[in-house]
Amino acid sequence: MLRWLRGFVLPTAACQDDEDYFNYGILFQDLDRNGDGVVDIIELREGLKNWSSTFGMHSEKDIFKAGDTNDDSKLDFKEFLQYLKDHEKKMRLAFNSLDKNNDGVIDTSEIIAALKSLGINISEAQAKNILQSIDTDGTMTIDWDEWKYYFLLHPARSIEDIAGFWKRYTIIDIGESIAIPDEFTEQEKHSGDWWRRLVAGGIAAAVARTCTAPFDRLKLMMQVHSLKSGRMRLIGGFEQMVTEGGIRSLWRGNGTNVFKIAPEAAIKIGAYEQYKKWLSFDGAKVGIIERFVSGSLAGVTAQTCIYPMEVIKTRLALGTTGQYSGIIDCGKKLLKQEGVRTFFKGYIPNFLGIIPYAGIDFAVYELLKNYWLEHYAGNAVDPGIMVLLGCSALSHTSGQLASFPLNLVRTRMQAQALEQKGTTSMIHLIQDIYNKEGKKGFFRGLTPNIIKVLPAVVISCVAYEKVKGYLGLI
């Protein structure tokens, strides 16, 4: 329908009001499939699918909410026409805000500048992709008629909504790592898509963690029992765990790892929104640096709140068969035998490790993705799933390499009671590791940790795409 309407309307779009009235009448008749003089929500939904598949779900609900003035769940032509006129005024304001030089057209530089002012940095190739999706005459600019008819049935209210649409549906990837929670548009918040995306992400994370849990437990075993198992290899480590507790023991502690996903995500999202407000002075737009800082602080906040569960996970993974019957039993025994303080052992190295991990993960992902776009992408702006998976795997690996020594120190401090050597401070523990094991001692367990990165990323992405379909997300 979008291509049909452009072909019919744009040649006549010297655009007087009576011509708009005539053209909108034809559009209304096309939407009114049963010819009863009104358009219901089902007819509008089908019409939007023909109009453009990229406008997203629930757009028809937003249009009805704005246009159905008598609340009869139907749009007659008068209501439809009034909605289009009101919507056209909003789109004119958005067009004018992009057309900074007032020459009547929007070019790539103006798209880049407008999105940058909203805190979204894109390349020229990405801006061209946005422009080409709207440009119908091949001029590589967007005039008012092209803009007007492209967004005619898109329920955007402002340039912010349009930027969110471009970011979500034209595959603008600004390189946000897992340290930065996803930002939800107002449309997603009203439609409920935000919680569906959170659920999909949580399920994908749970599946990925469960599939790679044996490697995670082996890493912990090698980190803590390094002196006893200094020659432990991957196969030997798995054999040792299976011999001690059977196949199921490979997943010991995974329940806690999965259980903490939901509270961690909820706290991170809430904290992220609050930190963004605090960093957006005088209502200024939050840029990519502010988002990174907000995301890092949100990660620290979430980690602080769920840290006792991290300790329980470690102790379950390192425990022997029958030592603990589950999460609650482990928590009770730790509280009774070691006191409340044991639930925060290793917190300082954990806190210090978040900063290099998040920063390097974020920077490496940006660097790799932008390098590919500049040297190998040509006119494309979507690197493709394989390139993004590669960038993500390498960035996560780099972040883990930088933070792994602190991760090891954290794990050792969490498990100190198992060694029956009393409590040691972080500095003394670092000195002890260096004196007894050398520099290599800080990277015990790194091999299984690195091996699990790529499969974890792939499994998480595949699971997320599958779950999105079941939850009605596109």
Same domain, 233 and 326: yes
Q: How confident is the model at residue 328 (pLDDT cuts 50, 70, 90)?
A: very high
Q: Is residue 232 part of a domain?
A: yes
The CATH number of residue 77's host domain is 1.10.238.10
| Rounded Cα distance, 77 and 29, in Å | 9
**Residues 205 and 157 reside in one and the same domain:** no
The set of residues, in sequence order, having a beta carbon less than 8 Å from that of 154 and lying 6+ positions away, is 52, 55, 59, 162, 165
Cα–chain center distance at 82: 37
Q: Is-contact 299 268, C-beta < 8 A?
A: yes
Question: Is 125 within a domain?
Answer: yes
29-33, 122-126, 179-183, 462-466: range with lowest mean pLDDT = 179-183
Cα 405 to Cα 411: distance, rounded to the nearest angstrom: 10
Cα–Cα distance, 354 to 321 (Å, whole number): 32
Chain Cα centroid distance, residue 434 = 38
Residue 11, pLDDT above cutoff 60: no
Q: What mean pLDDT is predicted for residues 423-437?
A: 87
pLDDT for 389 beyond 50: yes
Find out whether 454 and 211 touch, Cβ atoms under 8 Å. Answer: no
**Cβ-contact 128, 379 below 8 angstroms:** yes
290 and 363 co-located in one domain: yes
Cα(50)–Cα(57) distance, rounded to whole angstroms?
Answer: 13
pLDDT at 40 exceeding the cut of 70: yes
Does 54 or 473 have the greater pLDDT score? 473
Is 153 domain-assigned? yes
Q: Say if residues 291 and 250 touch (Cβ distance below 8 Å).
A: no
Q: Pick from 100, 150, 155, 154: which is nearest to 130 by CA? A: 150
Report the alpha-carbon distance of residue 92 to residue 107 in Å, rounded. Answer: 16
143 — phi, psi (to 5°)? -95, 180
Domain contains 428: yes
Residue 295 pLDDT = 74
Condensed to tens digits (0 to 9), the pLDDT of residues 61-98 reads 777 777 778 878 888 888 888 888 888 888 888 898 88
Residues 286 and 395 in one domain: yes
CA distance 130 to 294: 28
Same domain for 344 and 434?
A: yes
Give yes or no: residues 231 and 154 share one domain.
Answer: no
Q: Verify that 329 and 277 share a domain, yes or no.
A: yes
Domain of 9, in residue numbers: 2-169
Q: Cα(387)–Cα(400) distance, rounded to whole angstroms?
A: 20
Judged against a pLDDT cut of 70, whether residue 397 lies above it is answered with yes
Rounded Cα distance, 378 and 466, in Å: 30
Domain stops at, among 151, 169, 187:
169
Measured CA distances, 59 to 47, 68, 151, 267, 297 (Å): 11, 14, 12, 29, 34
What CATH code is carried by the domain that includes residue 421? 1.50.40.10
Same domain, 31 and 68: yes
Q: How far apart are CA 206 and CA 189, in angstroms?
A: 24
Are both 218 and 159 inside the same structural domain? Answer: no
pLDDT of residue 386: 74
| Angle between helices 108-117 and 124-134 in degrees, nearest 10 | 110
Instruction: Provide the greatest CA pair distance for the chain.
Output: 88
How many Å apart are CA 165 and CA 185, to the nearest integer?
8
Same domain, 278 and 424: yes
**187 in any annotated domain:** no
Q: How confident is the model at residue 3 (pLDDT cuts 50, 70, 90)?
A: very low
Q: Per the confidence metrics, is the pTM higher than 0.75?
A: no
| The predicted structure's pLDDT at residue 354 | 80
Range with top average pLDDT, 12-21, 173-182, 389-398: 389-398
Same domain, 203 and 277: yes
Q: What is the band of 387 on the pLDDT scale with cuts at 50, 70, 90? A: confident
Percent of the chain with pLDDT over 90: 18
Say yes or no to pLDDT of 297 above 80.
Answer: yes
Do 104 and 216 fall within a single domain?
Answer: no
CB 163, CB 121: distance < 8 Å: no
> For a pLDDT cut of 70, what percent of the chain falls above it?
78
Question: Is 190 part of a structural domain of the chain?
Answer: no
Number of independent structural domains in the chain: 2
pLDDT higher than threshold 60 for residue 185? no
456 in a domain, yes or no? Answer: yes
Query: Does 193 reside within a domain?
Result: no
